[in-house]
Structure 1
Amino acid sequence: MKLYSRKMTKVLATDILSWKYEPPYDLYNNDVTDDAISELMNEGYIAVEDESGALVGFYCSGHSAQVPAGRGAGAYIEPAIDVGVGMHPELTGKGKGSFFFSFILNELEPLNANTIFRLTVAKFNKRAMKLYENMGFRVAFEFKTDNNEYLIMVKR
């Protein structure tokens, strides 16, 4: 399977926002609203499709990849490339995460070999944490919100 980055469109954003994950991953469910569509289209989100044009997932970087509560907790002080990802719920848990996430890191990695990648993951999401650990990410920080606990993981 080959993957391709594609500019986010209103149709793709609406599709992504309508995805529904089973518990406990339903934290990642969204509502399709004008504000949510606007965020996906205007805040640096990129769609990922396969060779047939099927939507596989998305990614974002920078400010969009940060959990706002983490900023207040000091989670994002060190310079790094923040990465946020989402994979189509029908594809999760099927061993495709490593290929998908490797593609995204390769898309984001500048020519600088000293790039530090950083991501934020919900602490309950053991499946994602295992993937990130297998790809060289290590826990660097933890913070809590009223509803959840998060880990900041970095890859140097």
Structure 2
Amino acid sequence: MSLYQVQNMTIEAARHINEWTYEEPYSIYSMSGDPEDLDELMDGTYFAVYENDQLIGYFCYGKNAQVPGGVKEQLYEDIAFTDLGLGLHPELTGKGRGARFLEAIMDFGERTYGYDQYRLSVASFNERAIHLYEKAGFKETGTFVNVSGDRKVEFMVMKKAEGAMT
């Protein structure tokens, strides 16, 4: 079994991630290719994840992991929780790779920063991700609707209070 390597985001990795396109209905997770998305990926809060020198995903902690609709509804006020945002390469989703990927991200946060309580937001239709998060010990704590242009998507906020998965 290979191990994941976590690195600070590089411009090369950010450019690749900015081109990832997810199939419907997961297209809300696709980057736009806009320079603003590239700037966000390079703002110092994002990490790239590699397996056997291949970029397989990314993640961030903090405000960039929060969805604007959830901020508006004040669902991220509890500062005891670390917000977590993540993305697995589109070609790897739905293939049973998520649990190990999520575990590596939470383990990195615990080892590097001492994080032991996590919060994330997931589109309510994304049943496969919700199932993964529930298996990892996350519990739903609220929902909100995020409006982006003419698109309205319901999101679920989930929290895990007892640290990285074992």
Which residue does the alignment assign to 2:106?
105
Number of residues of Structure 1 aligned to a counterpart in Structure 2: 154
- For residues 160 and 77 of structure 2, the distance between their equivalents in structure 1, rounded to whole angstroms, comes to 15
Contact 2:8 2:44 in 1 (8 A): no
Percent identity between the two aligned chains: 38
Instruction: Give the RMSD, CA atoms, in angstroms.
Output: 1.4
- For residues 50 and 114 of structure 2, the distance between their equivalents in structure 1, rounded to whole angstroms, comes to 26
Contact 1:44 1:64 in 2 (8 A): yes
Which residue does the alignment assign to 1:7?
8
Contact 1:43 1:64 in 2 (8 A): no
- For residues 118 and 59 of structure 2, the distance between their equivalents in structure 1, rounded to whole angstroms, comes to 13
Answer yes or no: is 1:152 the counterpart of 2:157. yes
Amino acid at match of 1:148: V
Which residue does the alignment assign to 1:78?
78
- Secondary structure of the structure 1 residue equivalent to 2:5: strand
Which residue does the alignment assign to 1:122?
123
Which residue does the alignment assign to 2:53?
53
Structure 1 position 27, deviation (Å): 1.0
Structure 1 position 53, deviation (Å): 0.8
Segments of 5+ residues of structure 1 without an aligned counterpart are none
- For residues 30 and 82 of structure 1, the distance between their equivalents in structure 2, rounded to whole angstroms, comes to 19
Amino acid at match of 1:22: E
Structure 1 position 14, deviation (Å): 1.0
Structure 1 position 33, deviation (Å): 2.0
Amino acid at match of 1:131: L
- Secondary structure of the structure 2 residue equivalent to 1:13: helix
Residue-by-residue CA offset, 1:87-120 (whole Å, 9 max, x unaligned): 001111110100000000001125758x321000
Change (3 A) 1:11 1:112: closer
Which residue does the alignment assign to 2:137?
136
TM-score normalized with structure 2 length: 0.88
Which residue does the alignment assign to 2:67?
67
Contact 2:143 2:154 in 1 (8 A): yes
Write out the 4+ residue segments of structure 1 that deviate beyond 6 Å after TM superposition. none
Structure 1 position 145, deviation (Å): 2.2
- Secondary structure of the structure 1 residue equivalent to 2:134: helix
- Secondary structure of the structure 2 residue equivalent to 1:149: strand
TM-score normalized with structure 1 length: 0.94
Of the structure 1 ranges 36-45 and 102-111, higher mean CA displacement relative to structure 2 is found in 102-111
Which residue does the alignment assign to 1:24?
25
- For residues 90 and 22 of structure 1, the distance between their equivalents in structure 2, rounded to whole angstroms, comes to 10
Contact 1:20 1:26 in 2 (8 A): yes
